[in-house]
Amino acid sequence: MNINKSNPLLLHPLNKWMKKKKWSWFPHQIETFHYVRTGSDVVVFAPTGAGKTLTGFINPIDDLIKLKKFKGLHTLYISPLKSLANDIVRNLEKPIKELDLNISFQVRTGDTTPYIKQKQKQKPPNILITTPESLALLNSYENAKEFFHNLKYIIIDEIHTFLDNKRADLLSLNIERLQTFSPNLQRIGLSATLKNKQDAKKWLCRKKPKIVSYENSVLPKIKILESKERIPWSGHMATYSINEIYKEIMKSKLTIIFVNTRAQAEYMFKNLWLINKKKLKIAVHHGSLEKNLRLKVENNLSKGLVDCVVATSSLELGLDYGDVEKIIQVGAPKGINRLLQRVGRSNHNLNTPSKAILVPTNRFEFIEAKAAIEEIKKNNLDKIDLKEGSFDVVAQHIFATACAGQFNINDLYKEIIKAYPYKKLKLNDFKQLINLIQDGGYVLKNYDQFKRIFQLRENKNIYKLVNKRETRKYRMNVGTIIENPMLKIKLGTKTLGNIEEVFIQNLSQGDSFIFAGQVLEFQSMKNNLVQVKRSKSLISKIPSYSGGRMPLSTNLANSVRALLAKSNMWDLYPEQITQWLKRQKNISKIPKKDEYLVEQFPRKKNFYTVIYTFAGWHANQTLGFLLLRGFKEFNYKPLGFVANDYAIVLWSLKEAKEIKTILNLGLLDKHLDNYLEETSIVKRLFRDNAIISCLIERRLPGMEKTGKQVLFSSDLIYTVLKKNEPDHILLKSSYEDAKKNMIDYDRLREILKKIDKKIIFKKLTSISPLAVPIILEINRENLSKKETDEYILEDLENEILKEANVLSIN
Amino acid sequence: MFYQLINFGNEEFHAYPDKSLYWKRLNTLIVSDLHIGKSISYAKNKQFLPPYDTKEILNKIFVSLDKIKPSNLIIVGDLLHDVFSTLSLKDQDHKNLSQYMKNTDFIWIKGNHDENIQIEGFKNLTNYKIDKFLFTHIPIKTSLFQICGHYHPKVKISHRGKTIFKTCFVHNEKIFILPSFGILTGGLDIHSKQISDVLDKNNLSIYPVGQDKVYKL
């Protein structure tokens, strides 16, 4: 690199260390240093390996050295993961120790011992590395203002992971609180490359906002596995390619195999071991495994002690595993950003390209993999949509504020609406949230004598916590991540990890299942512990986790549609894919990239309607339900539907002749409420809302309540509330959440708005090639929980009656 | 409303999906574990459940009384959740109750939650005996047939790969346990130790409560 004499970083305290390492400063580091020094809030976009962490610390270190023996907290560094926070400390330690700089730094997360936490409060380090939840906790202490009043910088790492969820809402509120405590505070965001950089800037920056961006010119080398085997029509387990995947592992020094769900991880891991003749060291890593097991795998990975790790998104973020040579992505990529993030795990070096192989598990996934490669070549990333902040997070923040001391609601409101997600928060909604924290916020005033916060008599705008005991409750319930009820798995006295309670309930004693790569036999369940022993059984179940489904990004979906329509490309595909598409073209039609193909055909006495929306599973699932309603109205006697990322299929006793009339925006407006009502979506989100807003307490280890009971009682609360006070703020909040997240409301709305002009209708005499994959997925029930329960009881009773009859005849 | 016919102690009982039990011969309605005012007693610990449970439970009782018009109503314990519960009974509720008591005899048996609580115009008893039947909140040692509450029984049903939990009526030869008539009340698996200690597993008859129907397993 050309040494620029005007580079101000040449005078930086770290320059000596950089020189010793024979490293030079990146342009984005120089730029960031300049902007921050002249008072800007900055978001830095750079790929991994481009010294991102250091970029964040350049100004704080410079400032700390200039200030000489600064006492107290100077810089706060927010990391999305606890494990990443520890990694940051290790990276920061090197230059500071080697240069013998007089700067103190420490980490503070949920894993920090109470003793160290206490010491940190009395004598804070100059630099504190922490998580959004720990920051929220710090802000809830009475001395928060003194603790933070000299804070100069806040650095948000991996800011792209914080933009579109409730954690982001929580973080944004707490950043505004810090700004109130220390008006001179400057914000620095560090992000992977993003399409809508402006949105990230809007979310974070207030003072002279600036974007600094460093684009990597070395494109990753990504290809699709060239398989001699037949790619299956349907399915998600890639069993067909297991031998070829194994060969790829053998070719590289260190490989990470990414899959999309925990179930896939267990399955892939088991199948690799079945054919592991060379005794390769293969490990598995996913979020449900016990922390120690995960740490062991991570440790072995960074030391290069394994040959291959099968992982879910648990290994996606941040951590630097220098020796990884190759990434294998099994299953559809689902999004460009996600794929890039995963691919970037290999060759953590800027100038050599990352290497990756994609393994589609079915034919549609082949097209999707191809499309993803095309988009990466064009550097066309996914957009991260900013969302309006959720109400329940504000409620939690109000509680936290009350824990820190009495507060003026007008000041608090003004502070909250400075946070980007809450710019549009209405005063009226805010007041309802105050009431929610005060006494549940019900119209029926039954709890006047039991309030949690109360107005001062002399000033009605000032609220105060009723007693100190409540602060403990807040601290037990802080955060926005609500897991499904989980149980610990014990093999002997050793804990293997956590498993969903629902899965265990469906097991009987003696059943075997695969977990942490082992076949285990279910023995008993006591006090939330699942006791297992090793099993040699060949038939075993694989636990599924309800959070498993990843949404298909709109960007990638559009690209899939465009690619499908490009028939001049088909000859480059494997023979079977080419044949599949050509036959579709002859028998039916291939939709153009802005068209919606609708096929109808008779099959086994029923009529089938297939609609290719490419809208992602969430939107398709919703649309399927709405169409079911529409079909009922037209008396087509619908029997069921199945949705996947690409299409929906409905089957009915009568032919759905008016499909064009039914498919429009009216369908959404008319039946959506009904949909939310009948499926348990809002009810489930209500549970999260009730816990996040601290209306009910979350389950913590050692509490005698099982997860089932918490879920159960939040269901009861929902039902009672819905009936008696349908306008309650928490119901409104749950409904908004449902519209935002679960059903891809906006995406569906966009499609239905224009669909009537874009429908290509094909009446066929039998199933089309394109419809085969989704028809094969028909085996699930699509009844609401309420209906399912009645159905099970009815069916069981009938069976018993039949049995009784048989007995009496005999 | 459909009911499920249950034969217990050689008498005909009707189990209703609102979780009440009707004894035909004596024109007597039986309910248990209403836990009136559960929400208000939670509120003192700052858990602010919707304060509509008392209103809903009373409405449910009144609807049932209007329809069946029994001569007696037996409450097998835990009518109230705790001492704070009476706070949730408004003047109008008291008036309505007195009105219904003109035509129906209310027999309130003490439960573990409400043994030390008094409501004006109500007498509460430790247990109550009619013929060979004993009404008591928690079963005791006796040769009589017992009708009880306390446990809020639920049954786990696994069928065709799905598992559901359902509130249920359950009895064996000598002991009958009613489900909770309350709104915000949870439940206990009938195979849990607490229940199997009193209700031995032999000859159990289980009646899960569905939406509009009580089933028989």
Residues A256 and A403 in one domain: no
B193 touches A: beta carbon within 8 Å = no
Residue A408 lies in a domain: yes
Q: Is A806 helix (H, G, I), strand (E, B) or coil?
A: helix
Distance, CA of B77 to CA of B74 (rounded, Å): 9
Asked whether the predicted pLDDT for residue A130 surpasses 60, the reply is yes
Tell me what pLDDT residue A800 has.
64
pLDDT band at residue A705, thresholds of 50, 70 and 90? very low
pLDDT band at residue A283, thresholds of 50, 70 and 90? very high
User: What total number of domains does chain A contain?
Assistant: 6
Q: What is the pTM assigned to this prediction?
A: 0.87
Cα dihedral A339/A737/A425/A174 (nearest 10): -60
Tell me what pLDDT residue A431 has.
97
Percent of chain A having pLDDT more than 70?
91
- Highest mean pLDDT (candidates A29-33, A491-495, A512-516, A789-793): A29-33
Asked whether the predicted pLDDT for residue A786 surpasses 80, the reply is no
Residues A536 and A677 in one domain: no
CA dist list (Å): A298 to A271, A301, A348:
22, 5, 16
pLDDT tens digits for B78-128?
A: 999 988 888 888 899 999 999 999 999 999 999 999 988 888 778 889 999
Q: Do A789 and B156 touch (CB under 8 A)?
A: no
Asked whether the predicted pLDDT for residue A791 surpasses 80, the reply is no
pLDDT band at residue A706, thresholds of 50, 70 and 90? very low
Asked whether the predicted pLDDT for residue A346 surpasses 90, the reply is no
B217 touches A: beta carbon within 8 Å = yes
Select the more confidently predicted residue: A344 or A18: A18
Distance, CA of A129 to CA of A317 (rounded, Å): 17
Q: Rounded mean pLDDT of A373-398?
A: 92
- Looking at residue A460, its amino acid is K
Domain that residue A702 falls in: 589-779
- Highest mean pLDDT (candidates A411-415, A636-640, A707-711): A411-415
Select the more confidently predicted residue: A800 or B123: B123
pLDDT tens digits for B151-198?
A: 999 998 877 666 788 999 999 999 999 999 998 888 888 988 889 899
Asked whether the predicted pLDDT for residue A484 surpasses 80, the reply is no
Q: Which residues of B touch A723 (CB under 8 A)?
A: 52, 56
A442 touches B: beta carbon within 8 Å = yes
Distance, CA of A300 to CA of A692 (rounded, Å): 37
CATH of the domain at A29: 3.40.50.300
pLDDT tens digits for A588-618?
A: 999 998 999 999 999 878 899 999 999 888 8
Boundary-marking domain end, from A329, A352, A377: A377
Q: Which residues contact B16 (CB under 8 A, 6 or more apart)?
A: B1, B3, B22, B64, B214
Residues A417 and A347 in one domain: no
Q: Rounded mean pLDDT of A641-656?
A: 91
pLDDT tens digits for A664-702?
A: 888 888 888 778 777 777 888 898 999 999 998 876 544
Q: ipTM for the complex? A: 0.87
Asked whether the predicted pLDDT for residue B205 surpasses 90, the reply is yes
Tell me what pLDDT residue A198 has.
95
Asked whether the predicted pLDDT for residue A737 surpasses 60, the reply is yes
pLDDT tens digits for A19-37?
A: 998 889 999 999 999 999 9
Tell me the residues of chain A between 488 and 547 that have a Cβ less than 8 Å away from chain B.
502, 505-506, 508
How far away is chain B from the Cα of A449, in angstroms, using its nearest Cα? 8
Residue A291 lies in a domain: yes
Q: Is B27 helix (H, G, I), strand (E, B) or coil?
A: coil
Q: Do A439 and B49 touch (CB under 8 A)?
A: no
Q: Do B162 and A470 touch (CB under 8 A)?
A: no
A779 touches B: beta carbon within 8 Å = no
Tell me what pLDDT residue A604 has.
79
Residues A619 and A737 in one domain: yes
pLDDT band at residue A210, thresholds of 50, 70 and 90? very high
First to last CA, chain B: 20
Q: Do B48 and A439 touch (CB under 8 A)?
A: yes
pLDDT band at residue A171, thresholds of 50, 70 and 90? very high
How far away is chain A from the Cα of B38, in angstroms, using its nearest Cα? 12
Q: Is A201 helix (H, G, I), strand (E, B) or coil?
A: helix
Residues A181 and A260 in one domain: no
Asked whether the predicted pLDDT for residue A809 surpasses 70, the reply is no
Q: Nearest chain A Cα to B43, which residue? A: A450
HEC string of A358-393?
Answer: EECCCHHHHHHHHHHHHHHHCCCCCCCCCCCCCHHH
DSSP characters over A569-620:
GGGGS-HHHHHHHHHHHHHS-PPPTT-EEEEEEEETTEEEEEEE----HHHH
* Residue from A692, A263, A808, A719 nearest A500 by CA: A263
Q: Rounded mean pLDDT of A291-305?
A: 86
Residues A303 and A414 in one domain: no
Residue A559 lies in a domain: no
How far away is chain A from the Cα of B100, in angstroms, using its nearest Cα? 24
Asked whether the predicted pLDDT for residue A707 surpasses 50, the reply is no
Percent of chain A having pLDDT more than 90?
51
B86 touches A: beta carbon within 8 Å = no
Distance, CA of A107 to CA of A90 (rounded, Å): 10
Tell me what pLDDT residue A783 has.
40
Select the more confidently predicted residue: A116 or B121: A116
Q: Rounded mean pLDDT of A167-194?
A: 95
Distance, CA of A187 to CA of A419 (rounded, Å): 13
Tell me what pLDDT residue A801 has.
62
Asked whether the predicted pLDDT for residue A111 surpasses 50, the reply is yes
A790 touches B: beta carbon within 8 Å = yes
B163 touches A: beta carbon within 8 Å = yes
Residue A763 lies in a domain: yes
CA A777, chain centre distance (Å)? 25
pLDDT band at residue A803, thresholds of 50, 70 and 90? low
Q: Do A450 and B43 touch (CB under 8 A)?
A: yes
- Looking at residue A361, its amino acid is T
pLDDT band at residue A451, thresholds of 50, 70 and 90? very high
Q: Nearest chain A Cα to B216, which residue? A: A797
Domain ranges of chain B: 4-208
Rg of chain A's alpha carbons, rounded to an integer?
28
* Residue from A501, A781, A520, A802 nearest B156 by CA: A501
DSSP characters over A695-737:
SSPPP-TT-SS-HHHHHHHHHHHHHHHHHH-TT-HHHHHHHHH
Q: Rounded mean pLDDT of A47-54?
A: 81
Asked whether the predicted pLDDT for residue A760 surpasses 60, the reply is yes
pLDDT band at residue A388, thresholds of 50, 70 and 90? very high
A792 touches B: beta carbon within 8 Å = yes
Tell me what pLDDT residue A517 has.
83
Tokens of A317: 């973020």
With vertex at residue A630, the alpha carbon angle to CA A624 and CA A633, rounded to the nearest 5 degrees, is 145
Q: Rounded mean pLDDT of A34-46?
A: 96
Residues A164 and A196 in one domain: yes
Q: Which residues of A touch B163 (CB under 8 A)?
A: 502, 505-506
Determine which of A97-106, A345-354, B100-109, B130-139 has the lowest per-residue pLDDT on average. A345-354
Give the residues across from A791 on adjacent strands.
none
Residues A55 and A168 in one domain: yes
CA dist list (Å): A791 to A712, A805, B16, B188:
20, 21, 19, 23
Asked whether the predicted pLDDT for residue A623 surpasses 60, the reply is yes
Q: Rounded mean pLDDT of A391-400?
A: 98
Q: How many CB pairs under 8 A join A and B?
A: 110
CATH of B4-208, one of 3.60.21, 3.30.460, 3.40.720, 3.40.50: 3.60.21
Tell me what pLDDT residue A781 has.
39
pLDDT band at residue A276, thresholds of 50, 70 and 90? very high
Residue A565 lies in a domain: no
Asked whether the predicted pLDDT for residue A48 surpasses 50, the reply is yes
Q: Which residues of A touch B183 (CB under 8 A)?
A: 716, 720
Choose from B49, B164, B216 for mutation: most chain A CBs within 10 A.
Answer: B49
Asked whether the predicted pLDDT for residue A784 surpasses 50, the reply is no
Residues A773 and A723 in one domain: yes
DSSP characters over B149-181:
-SS-EEEEEEETTEEEEEEEEEE-SSEEEPPP-
A695 touches B: beta carbon within 8 Å = yes
B191 touches A: beta carbon within 8 Å = no
Asked whether the predicted pLDDT for residue A794 surpasses 50, the reply is yes
A374 touches B: beta carbon within 8 Å = no
Nearest 5°: phi and psi at A706?
Answer: -90, 160
pLDDT band at residue A341, thresholds of 50, 70 and 90? confident
Residues A80 and A143 in one domain: yes
Q: Which residues contact A270 (CB under 8 A, 6 or more apart)?
A: A514, A517, A519
Q: Which residues of A touch B210 (CB under 8 A)?
A: 789-790, 793
Tell me what pLDDT residue A487 has.
83
Average pLDDT score over chain A = 87
Tell me what pLDDT residue A810 has.
35
